[in-house]
A and B are shown apart, each in its own frame.
Chain A
Amino acid sequence: MSHGSEPIADAAPGAGAEQITEEITGFLTDALRRPIGPDDDYFELGLVDSLFALELVTYVEQRFALTVEVEDLDLDSFRTAHRLTEFVRRKTGADAGRRTHVGDH
């Protein structure tokens, strides 16, 4: 299953959280074939099987050009689109980027 086109990792530090959440809810809505809101816990709703979990992690890795490491496999980071957004921004340095940008040069 393929969703989106080019990885947006390069844009992620500058990308707003809203844009990332929108991307992710779009993927979830397509993949689960039902509307998924930013705070819907699709695990709690019983919508996730192993294959979907694989597709979700693969999507996040490819779309945002990051690697989900073993230590990242905290279910709470993947439960909702909002939490995934936080995870993506954390992994891509978007949050830190804003805090540490001044003085980088």
Chain B
Amino acid sequence: MNAVGTFRAATPIAVDAAGWHLPDRTRAVAELPELADLPEADRRTCLNLGIDTVLVDDELTAGDLAEHAARAALERAGLAAGELGALIVVEPRAPETLISSDATRLQHALGATEATTFTVGGLGCVSVAPALLAARGLLAADPGLRHALVVHGSKPAGRGRYRHPVTVNGDSGQALLLSRPGEVPAPVRVLDLVQRTNGAYWDLFGLDYRDRPTAQWREECRDLPGYSFRLAMETRRRLSALVDELLARNGRTRGDIAGWASQNLSAGGLAFTEETLDVKLLPSCRENLRGYGHLGPNDIFLNLWTALDRRDLAEGDLAVLVNVSPVAAWSVLLVEMGPRGRGPSQGGNA
């Protein structure tokens, strides 16, 4: 199905290649060390999230994960890092050092000497949306810029992986190679995206790190009822409105959408999205949630590519990717499938 029509408001971007670094080691959630220190009710909540194992590589930093993924995407596309016009790093949850630059570290490691390089973030797992917006803007504004690489290494900020009562974080790297749609059809095209935030929730979750050893770092929610009720109800309203806006401005209806994917927080979170939007999410969401845990901004495209890999989506299909972050931020993406690309199980370290 071709989404080009009179209603489309946005300039599409092509995802020419995607690369991942998914560690080959996993850790059972039931064996997470931090569970021993949790009250019984919290421990039960963690074990009932629908996550059996999380991806773990204790040897790699978030920057390393990003670098591995970037190399995988470039290799898949047959593109040299020196040909990148832009390198956009989605910020890690915690920098390795303050003051220094995670973005230019990656630029240096890859040899992306000509790339306009910077970091975006501030929106948790929704931060992939502003990265795509920035890439789209650069590609639209600068005719000389041909390729932009959006990269993220996802790793929990502290040693603990459980964020009560939300999710368990895994490790992963992801890179999306973006360009203007050309004669060669891309595996995926991002037709449009809508992103909104509500700053009233800016500190709903936080991690106090100053003057604390990393072993004591905890991701904490300052208002659990607020998270479970107020933000949930605002999300219900926001998501429905955002999807309606996204589809309407692209001249589409829900009936045109072949697949829905979201970020992976918990089985309850996936059910929440399904009930809120009255849709069924692609099976890849629960599959990746169960085996990998929450991979932050990497979830939605990993779920999309896994669905392609499983042949749950076909060329010409439209999909909507939903992302929600408790900062609070919401984004919805309308994407169109091109010829079948290589999914995470078909190459690289995935």
Chain A contacts to B: CB under 8 angstroms: 43-44, 46, 48-55, 57-58, 68, 70, 73, 75, 78
Contact = CB atoms under 8 A, between A and B. Distances in A.
Contacts of B226: 75
A78 B231 CA distance: 14
A57 B233 contact: yes
B275 interface: yes
B225 interface: yes
Contacts of B230: 73, 75
B275 A58 contact: yes
B348 interface: no
Contacts of B41: 46
25 contacts: A43-B225, A43-B229, A44-B225, A46-B41, A48-B225, A48-B228, A50-B227, A50-B232, A50-B272, A51-B232, A51-B268, A51-B275, A52-B228, A53-B228, A53-B229, A54-B236, A54-B272, A54-B276, A57-B233, A70-B234, A73-B234, A75-B226, A75-B229, A75-B230, A78-B229
A50 B225 contact: no
A55 B276 CA distance: 10
B228 A49 contact: yes
B111 interface: no
Given A50-B269, A57-B236, A73-B229, 8 more contacts: A43-B229, A46-B224, A48-B228, A51-B269, A54-B233, A54-B275, A57-B233, A70-B237
Contacts of A52: 228
Interface in B212-244: 224-237
Nearest to B275: A54
B271 interface: yes
B165 interface: yes
Nearest to A79: B225
Interface of B: 41, 45, 165, 224-237, 268-269, 271-272, 275-276
Given A49-B165, A54-B276, A43 B228 contact: yes
A73 B272 contact: no
Given A57-B233, A70-B234, A73-B234, A50 B268 contact: yes
Q: Which 8 A-B pairs have the closest CB atoms?
A: A50-B232, A51-B268, A43-B225, A53-B232, A53-B229, A51-B272, A48-B228, A73-B233
A52 B236 CA distance: 13
Nearest to A78: B229
A50 B228 contact: yes
B225 A49 contact: no
B234 A49 contact: no
Nearest to A56: B229
Contacts of B235: 50
Among B226, B236, B271, B276, find the residue whose CB has the most chain A CB atoms closer than 10 A. B236
Nearest to A73: B233
Contacts of A54: 232-233, 236, 272, 275-276
Contacts of B224: 46
A78 B45 CA distance: 22
A50 B166 CA distance: 10
A44 to B, nearest CB: 8
A73 B226 CA distance: 10
Contacts of B275: 51, 54-55, 58
B258 to A, nearest CB: 25
